[in-house]
Every structure is written in C-alpha cells, then in structure tokens.
Structure 1
Amino acid sequence: MTLPYSILDLAPIPQGATVAEALAHSVDLARHAEALGYHRYWLAEHHNSTGIASAATAVLIGHVAGQTSTIRVGAGGIMLPNHAPLQVAEAFGTLATLYPGRIDLGLGRAPGTDGLTAQALRRGVLNADRFPEDVIELLGFLGDASADQPVKAVPGQGTHVPVWMLGSSLFGAQLAAHLGLPYAFASHFAPDMLAEAIEIYRARFRPGVTAAPRFMLAVNLFAAETDAAAHLLRSSMIHGFVNLRRGQAGPLPPPCADLTTVASSAEIAMAERALRVVAVGSPATVEARLRALIAQYRPDELILTGHIFDHAARKRSFEIGAQAMARIARG
C-alpha cells in the first residue's frame, strides 16, 4: 500500500545548544527528509519554552520552504486561539503564494502555552471558546471571495491552503467530521482517546472541505542500529517530558542510561504511558512496530516525531523510519 509519511518538528533546543543551532538543524533535517521521500515537514507553535525554537511558526515555515524544493511544509499546528483568523489567512496565503502547492495549515485549539503567556499574546484563553467560529472564519478567508464580502485576506483569498484539524480529544474529531476536514490526532503525547476519536471522526464525517475522511496518526520514532541504542536516544524525551510535567520545561536533556537517577518510578511510568504510541528500536524492530500501528489504526497518513539530543542521531533515526516505511509500502 502507499501510505504517505511525514515529520513533525518542534525545533528542539538541546542543552548547551543555541536557538540558531536548533533552527539550522531543522532546515538540515527538512532537506534530509525531502531526499528520503517524506511527504510533509510540519512545525508546531509553542511559546515561552526555552527548549523549543518554533514559536514564530509561519516565519520558520517560510524559511524551511525556501531552503527545500518539493516537500510540503506546514504547521502542525497553529494554535488558533492565539491569533486572529484574518492574520493567519494572510500569513499562510502569503506562504502559499510564494511556495504554491507546498503549504499546509494545521489548526489546534489549545493555546500551546501557559495562561500568563496567553495574555502576553493579547488573545487570552477565552478565545478557545470561539474556536469553531474562528475555524469557519479562517476557511472563508482562504476560500473564494463572495461578491458582498466586506473584508478579504490579501494574500490569502482564493489560495485554498489545505487546512487540517488537530486534536487530542473528541472535540477536534467531532469538529473535523462536521466541517469535512482532514484530521490529525496528537497520539504522540496524548493517546488516551485515540481509538474513540478515530471512530467518531470516521462515523460522523460528512463531505465538506474534503470529500472523504483523511486521518493522520502521529508516532514517536526512535530508531538506531540496536534496540539498546534506540532506547538510550528515547531517554532524552522521557526525561524532558517529566520535566515538563514538573513545571520545569527547558532545553532537551542528554540521553540518560538510568532514568531512575533523574526521575521517580512513578514519573517515568507517567511519561511512558503518555508517549506510548512509539516505534523504538533497531530497523527490524521499528518496522514491525510501525506495521502493527498501521494495522491497528488504519491511518491514511503517518507523521513521525522524536526529540533526539544529537542531530546526527536524529537524522539517522528518520532515515531508518523512511526505509521502514518504504519496505511497508512494497508489501
């Protein structure tokens, strides 16, 4: 079967690295992904985090698109409560005009930050209550203009930038089904409602922006030459997730051979549960796990992510992932 596979990147900042190095690594990884046959390269909006460099998501998308040639580049996603729909339409309409046929817009309902930072963004947490209306308004700004439309997005109007609904709960599944939007579930960090969300989305989908349901599954990927080496790579993300839950988010920690030296058993179990949609191991182990996830959830697309401390190891992990997906496609 032909199953598109993509990358979700938060431009992680490892301990001891600079923002400039993290952004350069994202560009290098995007070029690598393009050469490996990845379909999309998505970047995610987060704010007030010293461990993530993709806060100005549209700016970074433009930079990555300008440094690549064919791979689709987009947002996975833009946190719409932080923005006026018109401004999002203008930004992504500009990107779509500069890089025609290559820009995606994934929309999230969470603010992607804390309450104080949401206030600093000048939109406020109450804007999440307007999320469905804001999505519809944004779709209008990206679609064809009507004759009596008083406000138009220029650029943006008529660009029909592909819009994806993102979610980690049943709300996004229901809204995506209602509006006929493709749907990507945040199973890489919040998989508890995954199976139910897929069922609701497919059962309630009605044609709208797209004619048929299109579901994207997010999977954490940590691949290396051996299972042990891959699990060591993954320890950085486990440690970082524990720090996040402690309210101590920061740069990505280096690999740790014994996580019990930096976290309690309960904290490690919590992180393992939240990050359990994962393919970790050698090439053969990763391929078997990806095959099992695909058989279980029947996605229309797969998006792979993984916070890995060493840039060369991260590139190699996504290379192994691409090779596994190519073998799966062959049979």
Structure 2
Amino acid sequence: MRLSLLDRSRTRAGAAEGDALEHTLERAVAAEALGYDRFWVAEHHGVPGIASGAPAVLLAAIGARTRSIRLGSGGVMLPHHQPLVVAEQFLMLAGLHPGRIDLGLGRSPGFTAPVRRALRQGAEQSDAFVEDVVELRGYLEGTAPVTARPLVEEEIPLFVLATGRGIDVAARLGLPVVVGGPVLSEPDVGDRLAAYRRDFRAHRGSLPRVTVSLDVLVADTDREARDLALPEVWAMVRSRRTGVFAPLEPVAQIRAARWEDQDRQRVEAGLDGVAAGRGDTIRQRIEQLAERTGADELLVTGSTYDRDALAASDAAVAALLG
C-alpha cells in the first residue's frame, strides 16, 4: 500500500493556536523526509481543538516548505463552498506546486448549529453534493461554460471522502474513495468496497482506488501507544458531554481528571478503535485491514499531545510500511 499522512492541526492546551499550524508545517517536512507519498490537511470551522479552517491556504504554505511530497485536502467540505472558487484555489496550488496537488472532497456539515448558520447552511438546504462534484470537475477539466484559472497542464486528482452514501457516489462518478471512521468499522465494509469496484463507472480512463483512513500510533509498548491515543480519544469523549471538541491535553492531566463511569466506558471503546501499539501489533492490524478492504493506500490520521512522541510514531509507521 501507498502510505500517506493526514494532519488536522490539532491545538494543544497551554499553547497558542498558531503553534498548531506551525507544527503541521514541521510534520509535513518530516513526512517528506520519511518517504510518505502524500500529506493531507483538513477543514473544520469554529472548533477549538482544530486550527485548520482553510486547507488551500495551509497547503500553499506547506508547498513552499517541501519539494516533492504530494499535498491535498482530506477534505474540502464542498457544501460550504462554490465549486468555481474551490477549482480556482486548487488550480492556483497546482500552478504553484506542479504535479503535487490532490483534492479530497467531503460533505460534512458544520460541527454546531451556530457554525452551520455562519456557513449559511439552513435546514432547508438541499443535498447537491453530487452535482457540485460534477460541476467542480468540469472547471478542473476545462469543460465547464466558465474557464477556471490559472490554466495548468496537469489534471488534479479528485477523491471522495466516504460518509453515508459516499462509496456509492465515488463509484458512480468514477473517483477514488477514502474510507475511515465509522464506515471502516462496519462489518459489511468489505462487501461495500467490492460493490464499489464492481459498479465503478470509469471517467477518462479512471480506475477504482480505495484509501483507508486510520488512527495509527506506534510506541515501544502497547500500553505506551494507548497512552499516546488517550488525548484524542478523551477530547472526543468529552465533546459528547460538553458539545466542545477541545484542545489536546497531557496524559497525566487527563488521568488526574474526574471520570464518570460512562466516560470510562467510552474512552476504552475509543482506544480499542485506534491502531495503537508496538510495531508488530500495528503491522498485523494493518495487514488484516488490507485483506478486508483490498486498500491501495493507508492514510494515517493519529494525533497526540506529545509532539516528540508523535514524530517518533510517524517515523515508526514509515519504517514499518516503507
């Protein structure tokens, strides 16, 4: 499998939010040196725990600091944008960094009701994701009534982030699909991906491609790796109680906090969902995942409070699968 990395610019307790963006740049430079194929960034709005709200801006900065690694979005949430504007942004990136730009597309709404209102997403808004993807592709391919600029010689690869009907949409439009989160853990995901390959409608000679997105953290022992996974899992568990997805906290601070019984159960379930462990543990889990999904690419998505430990984990994953 190809090996790629997604960084969501996670903020950390006690640090400025701008530090999260600088860390994303540093992680991208390290990923290129480690031999990762792609480095992707995310789009979230109004979330205290995530500093990345404008993928195209962040990718431009990363492109200026790197030389060869492919860069992309995991992903641009298309319902928040006009397809022409997204096309112009990524054509500009392709003009600045030729042969290196990917465009992953998602359809997730804003995290909270105020964010959805700020994004002008009303309850009556129709789901035009498929039509918007087709329109966007027309701008990128130069077949739309309006010519998006700058003109570039390359085609920018599109990817569909699979949530809900995303796998079916990718097959219908002849696009690669990225599968992660709850979709990846569903017992019938293998059957759904087999149907994706069977029903794939090629576009300009495209072929079905499956990327699996998985939280992966490697340490010297399984226990140490689960500790690395705890800050992200804790933030998710607490968000279900508070409605706020908070910055990452140190493990010792989390352990010292007051845990409700329900929190403890959710934390254990969350940790079980992360591929966290020694190298041999992780290799076995990824091999099983590859067999179950037939994946062409692994998109590593792990994060933790300790930046040095995260860098060591990224290096261990690259060595494990390189």
* TM-score normalised by L of structure 2: 0.91
- Checking the alignment, whether the CA contact within 8 Å between 1:27 and 1:67 is kept in structure 2 is yes
Q: 2:138 aligns with which of 137, 140, 159?
A: 140
Kindly report which structure 2 residues correspond to 1:128-277, keeping only aligned pairs within 5 A, or say none: 129-145=127-143, 149=145, 151-155=146-150, 159-169=154-164, 171-187=165-181, 191-192=185-186, 194-208=189-203, 211-246=206-241, 247-256=243-252, 261-270=257-266, 273=269, 276-277=272-273
* Aligned CA distance change for structure 1 residues 226 and 319 (closer, same or farther; 3 Å): same
Q: How large is the Cα RMSD of the aligned pairs?
A: 2.3
SS of the counterpart of 1:113?
coil
Task: State the 1:176 CA deviation.
Answer: 0.4
Kindly report which structure 2 residues correspond to 1:25-44, keeping only aligned pairs within 5 A, or say none: 25-44=23-42
Task: State the 1:262 CA deviation.
Answer: 4.3
Aligned positions, number: 320
Structure 2 Cα separation of the partners of residues 196 and 168 of structure 1: 16
Task: State the 1:35 CA deviation.
Answer: 0.7
- Checking the alignment, whether the CA contact within 8 Å between 1:43 and 1:74 is kept in structure 2 is yes
* Aligned CA distance change for structure 1 residues 274 and 178 (closer, same or farther; 3 Å): farther
Q: 1:13 aligns with which of 7, 11, 14?
A: 11
Task: State the 1:243 CA deviation.
Answer: 1.8
- Checking the alignment, whether the CA contact within 8 Å between 1:89 and 1:156 is kept in structure 2 is no
AA aligned to 2:316 is I
Q: Which region of structure 1 is more displaced relative to structure 2, 30-39 or 196-205? A: 196-205
SS of the counterpart of 2:127?
helix
* Aligned CA distance change for structure 1 residues 140 and 123 (closer, same or farther; 3 Å): farther
* Aligned CA distance change for structure 1 residues 258 and 118 (closer, same or farther; 3 Å): closer
AA aligned to 1:77 is G
* Offset from partner CA, 1:93-147 (integer Å, 9 cap, x none): 100111011011000011243232122123546556111111100000000346x
2:51 aligned with 1:53? yes
Q: Which region of structure 1 is more displaced relative to structure 2, 207-216 or 31-40? A: 207-216
* Aligned CA distance change for structure 1 residues 40 and 48 (closer, same or farther; 3 Å): same
AA aligned to 1:176 is A
* Offset from partner CA, 1:68-117 (integer Å, 9 cap, x none): 11101110000000000000000001001110110110000112432321
- Checking the alignment, whether the CA contact within 8 Å between 2:162 and 2:178 is kept in structure 1 is yes
Structure 2 Cα separation of the partners of residues 121 and 111 of structure 1: 9
* Aligned CA distance change for structure 1 residues 5 and 79 (closer, same or farther; 3 Å): same
SS of the counterpart of 1:129?
coil
Task: State the 1:321 CA deviation.
Answer: 0.6
* Aligned CA distance change for structure 1 residues 262 and 63 (closer, same or farther; 3 Å): farther
Structure 2 Cα separation of the partners of residues 89 and 122 of structure 1: 20
Task: State the 1:253 CA deviation.
Answer: 1.9
Structure 1 Cα separation of the partners of residues 191 and 112 of structure 2: 28
* Cross-structure match for 2:92: 94
Q: Which region of structure 1 is more displaced relative to structure 2, 65-74 or 189-198? A: 189-198
Task: State the 1:20 CA deviation.
Answer: 1.8
Runs of 5+ unmatched residues, structure 2: none
* TM-score normalised by L of structure 1: 0.89
SS of the counterpart of 2:207?
coil
Same amino acid, percent of matched pairs: 38
- Checking the alignment, whether the CA contact within 8 Å between 1:40 and 1:71 is kept in structure 2 is yes
Task: State the 1:161 CA deviation.
Answer: 1.1
- Checking the alignment, whether the CA contact within 8 Å between 1:91 and 1:156 is kept in structure 2 is no
AA aligned to 1:191 is S
Structure 1 Cα separation of the partners of residues 97 and 193 of structure 2: 32
- Checking the alignment, whether the CA contact within 8 Å between 1:145 and 1:157 is kept in structure 2 is no
Structure 2 Cα separation of the partners of residues 143 and 251 of structure 1: 39
